Amino acid sequence: MYDMRKVEELIARWENGERDAEMRKVRNEVFDVLTLRTIYKLMEQKYILRLEGVISTGKEANVFRAVDPSGEYIAVKVYRVETSEFRHMWKYLEGDPRFARFRRNKRSVIRVWAKKEYKNLEACFRAGASVPYPIVSRDNVLVMEFVGEDGEPAPRLKDCVPDDPDGFVEELLDSLGKIYYGAGIVHADLSEYNILVRGGSPVVIDMGQGVPWEHPFAIDFFRRDMERLSAVLSDLGREYTVGELVKVLEERGKKGGGKA
């Protein structure tokens, strides 16, 4: 549990050269001192009251459950700076007209990456898709809506079967239509790992790598997404070819009145 006092104390101890077991543990939890300062700023600005447990520790990022000053749960995604594969990120950044210029050091690439996830979520949310509502991004930290119930994070589609698979599929196709053809964003890492199931309905997450159609590899990412989607839907008992999926998503995205 990290509240403002704790974060302040950790920053002071780090600056003081202390490197005991607790400081090493904090570091392993993705908190280098710059990240601690970023979290501190977000606390000062009243986006975060305190960080609670870790929901997920991944290769690229850790996701925490947190609470905002009004007592609402929020999710805080902290991208790793030290160990992240930031060179791999260039492929998804270069050619995105929204980020025409970015500096090629780790920290700036990861800052832009977090901002990209924020912008992608924002565009998809505005288009009416079921994605976590983005609250703020600052440096390598993204604050967004917590997807879950009573503080319990929603499971991934990978780990559960929705009660009403047909209804779930319909909602998923609607949301994906709004993402790809309403907001005009190709997710680029669509899979049963990045779809959460909340109250029987899908929520699409993890949009850092998402690119607009203008991106030079958008079509390749799109094809890969559609192949994976076809497999995901097949597991839910619905068979679609990639060609059929393109038509279905296009139709549903345009129906929503997006700008495709």
Ligand X SMILES: Nc1ncnc2c1ncn2[C@@H]1O[C@H](COP(=O)(O)OP(=O)(O)OP(=O)(O)O)[C@@H](O)[C@H]1O
Q: Say which of 166, 189, 220, 225 is annotated catalytic.
A: 189
81 closest CA partner among 104, 52, 40, 111: 111
Q: Give the ranges where 127-209 is alpha helix by DSSP (H).
A: 165-177
State in angstroms the smallest separation of the CB of 53 from ligand X: 11
CB-based closest residue to ligand X: 58
Torsion (CA) 229, 232, 237, 238 in degrees, nearest 10: 0
State in angstroms the smallest separation of the CB of 187 from Mg ion: 11
State in angstroms the smallest separation of the CB of 196 from ligand X: 6
Question: Is the Cβ–Cβ distance between 66 and 73 less than 8 Å?
Answer: yes
Active site residue 206: yes
Tokens describing residue 166: 């047909």
Burial environment of residue 2 by CB neighbours within 10 A (0 to 12, 13 to 18, 19 or more): buried
State in angstroms the smallest separation of the CB of 198 from ligand X: 9
Query: At which residue do the structure tokens 């995105």 appear?
Result: 96
6 closest CA partner among 47, 49, 46: 49
CB-based closest residue to Mg ion: 206
Which one-letter DSSP state was computed for residue 156? Answer: B
Closer residue to ligand X (CB): 39 or 147:
147
Question: Is the Cβ–Cβ distance between 77 and 63 less than 8 Å?
Answer: yes
What does the alpha-carbon distance between residue 82 and residue 250 come to, in Å, rounded to a whole number?
40
Closer residue to ligand X (CB): 14 or 92:
92
Choose the one of Mg ion, ligand X, none that binds residue 31, judging by a C-beta under 5 to 8 angstroms depending on kind.
none
Choose the one of Mg ion, ligand X, none that binds residue 256, judging by a C-beta under 5 to 8 angstroms depending on kind.
none
- Total residues in contact with Mg ion, by rule CB under 5 A: 2
Closer residue to Mg ion (CB): 43 or 76:
76
Active site residue 166: no
- Which residues neighbour 150 within 8 Å (Cβ) at sequence distance 6 or greater? none
For Mg ion, the binding residues in 188-227 under the rule CB under 5 A are 194, 206
State in angstroms the smallest separation of the CB of 61 from Mg ion: 8
Q: Say which of 139, 174, 206, 225 is annotated catalytic.
A: 206
Choose the one of ligand X, Mg ion, none that binds residue 147, judging by a C-beta under 5 to 8 angstroms depending on kind.
ligand X
Q: Does 60 bind Mg ion (CB under 5 A)?
A: no
Task: Please give the residue ranges that form the binding site for ligand X (CB under 6 A).
Answer: 55-56, 58-61, 63, 75, 77, 132, 144-148, 153, 156, 194, 205-206
* CA-to-CA separations, 46 to 40, 131, 136, in angstroms, rounded: 10, 23, 11
Footprint of Mg ion on this chain (CB under 5 A)?
194, 206
The set of catalytic residues is 189, 206
